[in-house]
């Protein structure tokens, strides 16, 4: 399976009978799958289909889906409410002899609330159903285009991650070959420290100090951390090869990389090894930033 990014954008257009519509889909990073739909009033039945299809094709990401619908013959008509107008004229006539007022004009009558009515066109159930079915099909087109874009971006991310893993591996090999981490070098530095302590006082037990020195030397060795880093590298490469929705697992391994590199730096008492560890830490952070874009 291919890797997929969580970011993407897609559009699709369609028409059915008097209706024309457009879908606009956008996806961004998220811990899980969150589908957020904006639909015109009366088109709510499209929502269940859209959510189901998104859940079938996507595993992670916040999906913003907006449907815009227009109706070609949706022009409203205006009509006069004859009953209301007749009532108003009757009332005006009855008041004409009682009040000293100008007779109402046509403009005045039409301005009275309820005299003019705006009538929306009647909907056709068959036309509406056909339009909604077509909108669902158009959503499927846009969703597949979004998936394809996410896959293309995922392929690019995969290449970047492979490059970062190669850099981490090279730095781990450099740390492995660091002269300062060799047991003899560690023991020599510790022997110098012990000798310096013995010169300052005669109360130190030389045998006990030697034992402590060996324990410190064993603790200072980063062999275990380097072995785990190598194991993580192998797991990452296997996941990148396998593909699919591996973003969460890769993010976990990125955190493990970070932990092992931190331990390596904290245990190091050699400037070259420390610098290598810090450089590796930078690459691991770059690796993790890219991983967080993967599905």
Average pLDDT over residues 268-277: 86
Is 187 a member of any domain?
Answer: yes
pLDDT tens, position by position, 59-97? 999 999 999 999 886 556 667 777 777 777 777 777 666
Which secondary-structure segment (H or E) carries 105?
A: none
Q: Are residues 144 and 13 in the same domain?
A: yes
- On whether the CB atoms of residues 271 and 148 are closer than 8 A, the answer is no
Residue 20 sits in a domain whose CATH number is 3.30.230.10
pLDDT at 150: 97
Q: How far apart are CA 53 and CA 140, in angstroms?
A: 7
Q: Which domain holds residue 95?
A: 77-119
Q: Are residues 233 and 133 in the same domain?
A: no
- The pLDDT-based confidence of 110 (bands split at 50, 70, 90) is low
More confident residue, 106 or 215: 106
Average pLDDT over residues 8-32: 95
- The pLDDT-based confidence of 102 (bands split at 50, 70, 90) is low
Q: How far apart are CA 63 and CA 80, in angstroms?
A: 47
- On whether the CB atoms of residues 10 and 149 are closer than 8 A, the answer is yes
Residue 257 sits in a domain whose CATH number is 1.20.140
Mean pLDDT of the chain: 85
Q: Are residues 16 and 141 in the same domain?
A: yes
Please state the domain count of the chain.
Answer: 3
pLDDT tens, position by position, 152-165? 999 999 999 999 99
First to last CA, the chain: 12
Is 269 a member of any domain?
Answer: yes
- The pLDDT-based confidence of 100 (bands split at 50, 70, 90) is low
CB-based contacts of 130: which residues, under 8 Å, 6+ apart?
Answer: 16, 17
Q: Are residues 255 and 228 in the same domain?
A: yes
Q: Are residues 166 and 133 in the same domain?
A: no
Is 1 a member of any domain?
Answer: no
């Amino acid at each position: 399976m291919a890797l997929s990014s969580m970011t993407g954008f897609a559009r699709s257009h369609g028409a059915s009978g008097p209706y024309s519509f457009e879908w606009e889909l956008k996806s961004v990073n998220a811990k899980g799958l969150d589908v957020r739909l904006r639909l015109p009033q009366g088109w709510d039945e499209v929502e269940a289909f859209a959510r189901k299809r998104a859940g079938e094709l996507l595993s992670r990401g916040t999906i913003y889906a907006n449907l815009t619908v227009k109706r070609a013959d949706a022009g409203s008509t205006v009509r006069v409410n004859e009953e209301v107008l007749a009532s108003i004229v009757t009332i005006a006539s009855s008041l004409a002899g009682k009040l000293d007022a100008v007779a109402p004009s046509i403009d005045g009558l039409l301005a009275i609330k309820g005299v003019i009515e705006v009538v929306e066109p009647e909907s056709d159930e068959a036309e509406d159903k056909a339009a909604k079915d077509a909108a669902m099909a158009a959503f499927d087109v846009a969703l597949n285009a979004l998936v394809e874009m996410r896959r293309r971006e995922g392929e690019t991310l995969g290449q970047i991650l492979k490059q970062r893993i190669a850099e981490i591996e090279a730095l781990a090999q450099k740390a492995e070959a660091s002269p300062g981490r060799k047991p003899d070098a560690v023991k020599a530095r510790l022997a110098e420290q012990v000798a310096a302590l013995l010169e300052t006082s005669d109360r130190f037990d030389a045998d006990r100090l030697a034992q402590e020195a060996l324990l410190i030397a064993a603790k200072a060795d980063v062999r275990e951390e380097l072995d785990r880093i190598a194991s993580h590298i192998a797991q990452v490469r296997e996941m990148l090869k396998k593909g699919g929705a591996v973003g969460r697992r890769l993010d976990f391994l990125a955190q493990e990389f970070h932990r092992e590199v931190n331990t390596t730096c904290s245990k190091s008492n050699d400037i070259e090894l420390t610098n290598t560890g810090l450089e590796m830490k930078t690459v691991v952070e770059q690796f993790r930033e890219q991983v967080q874009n993967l599905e």
